[in-house]
Amino acid sequence: MPLDVPAIRSEFPIFRRTINGKRLVYLDSAASSQKPQAVIDAMVHVWSHSYANVHRGLYTLAEEATMAYEDARAKVARFVNASDVAEVINVRNATEGINLVAYSWGEQHVHAGDRIVITELEHHANLVPWQQLAKRKGAKLAYIPVTDDGLLDITVLPGLLDDGRTKVVACSVMSNVLGTLPPVVEIAAMAHAAGALVVMDGAQAAPHMPIDVQSIGADFLAFSGHKLCGPGVGVLWGRRELLEAMPPFLFGGDMILTVKREDSKWNALPYKFEAGTPAIAEVVGLGAAIDYLTGIGMPAIQEHERRLLPYAIARLSEIPELRVLGPGPAERGAVVSFTLEGVHPHDIGALLDEEGICVRAGHHCAQPIHDRFCIPASARASFYIYNDENDVDDLVAALRKTVSLLARR
């Protein structure tokens, strides 16, 4: 069943407003998605009805807040098919989840002369933590290169794994610039056979496709709630035995069992990694976002975008001055970065804004992949459940206007 996009749009209050007198065409969900009323209501309900700090109080409100918070964790666990709710750690965002692994696991296991393998298409969140860990430890950082077609060249991977010095392979499940969907299951199998751990950045994938942590091959998977219709929280899922053996990343309240003057004992999972008061209403909001998305159906969402993406690429390609980056529609998710000959991406962004169209312009926090294609920046349209062919048509019309306007200058 195709998605009923007008019905979905009607559930997002933001689509009732106009931008510069024009219909809002929101094509920046890869940066952050819009929020349905159900998510907004869930958070307001916490604040106005069941708010207190969690895991502490013995009074009714505190118990209600704790139940709502832990219920949301269980929803996240089901969403990614985790076998154990304690493997789901609430963090601020995907960035914090990856940093948690790079510090807590990385400091213990990566040593001088070891290798960390990442890819050329990583967002800085799955690049800089590894780069800095490598620097701290005197380890080597190796990149799986990207082909001219925007695919990963994994033929280099055996050569990076066969000396047994690679400790971790970190890879995005979907690129936020090229939309590339790397063969993560295959990469994970190769890494595991060589004794390396696999960290997956699911920030772009989790909002758009079913994710099963029991079959994808990850040891850790990080993603952000705000890209999947939820508020500003993130999730780190990790395999229990790894998390059990790791030291805490942050110290303080809630992550502690006993504290003596000279030493402390850590709380059980997942609390060991949730120091301090968490983002209570936000976590509940994430649970509501997951209910909302699973109500539509993750396979249906994936199918919707698989239909919309070829249309978008075909229509954009009608503009002679426009170059789409990355692989063909069969091998990517619904993110389309492009350049327009003779027009700076920032000017594209500003001119589209006048038409009520939101796209991102810049390097999208992924400079190495732009360097790979010898461009400083690009414009990016990214699609979600509330986008349809009308949005693509409006984008193409506005881009044509941009081209003719700038050609006249």
Closer CB to ligand 7TS, 66 or 378, in the complex: 378
Q: Does 152 bind ligand 7TS (CB under 6 A)?
A: no
Q: Report the candidate in 190, 203, 149, 138 with the shortest Cα–Cα distance to residue 366.
A: 203
How far is residue 258 from each of residues 58, 177, 248, 263, 277, measured CA to CA in Å?
19, 46, 14, 9, 17
Q: Report the candidate in 295, 291, 299, 301 with the shortest Cα–Cα distance to residue 230.
A: 291
- Judge whether 169 and 189 are in contact, CB under 8 Å: no
Q: Find the shortest distance in angstroms from Cβ 203 to ligand 7TS.
A: 3
Tell me which of 9, 75, 123, 332 binds ligand 7TS, using CB under 6 A: 123
6-35 binders of ligand 7TS (CB under 6 A): 30-31
Tell me which of 24, 72, 89, 94 binds ligand 7TS, using CB under 6 A: 94
365 catalytic? Reply is yes
Residue 96, token pair as written in the block: 């914090």
Q: Peptide bond preceding 270: is omega within 30 degrees of 0, i.e. cis? A: yes
Q: Does 224 bind ligand 7TS (CB under 6 A)?
A: yes
Q: Which residue in 171, 358, 365, 374 is the catalytic one?
A: 365
Closer CB to ligand 7TS, 29 or 104, in the complex: 29
* DSSP3 helix / strand / coil % (the chain, rounded to 5): 45, 20, 40
Number of residues that bind ligand 7TS (CB under 6 A): 18
Closer CB to ligand 7TS, 161 or 336, in the complex: 336
Residue 244, token pair as written in the block: 């059990």
Q: Find the shortest distance in angstroms from Cβ 324 to ligand 7TS.
A: 17
Q: Find the shortest distance in angstroms from Cβ 253 to ligand 7TS.
A: 24
Give the residue carrying structure tokens 């407003």: 17
Q: Helix 298-316 vs helix 389-408: angle between axes, to the nearest 10 degrees? A: 30
Closer CB to ligand 7TS, 167 or 364, in the complex: 364
184-223 binders of ligand 7TS (CB under 6 A): 201, 203-204
- Positions annotated as catalytic residues are 365
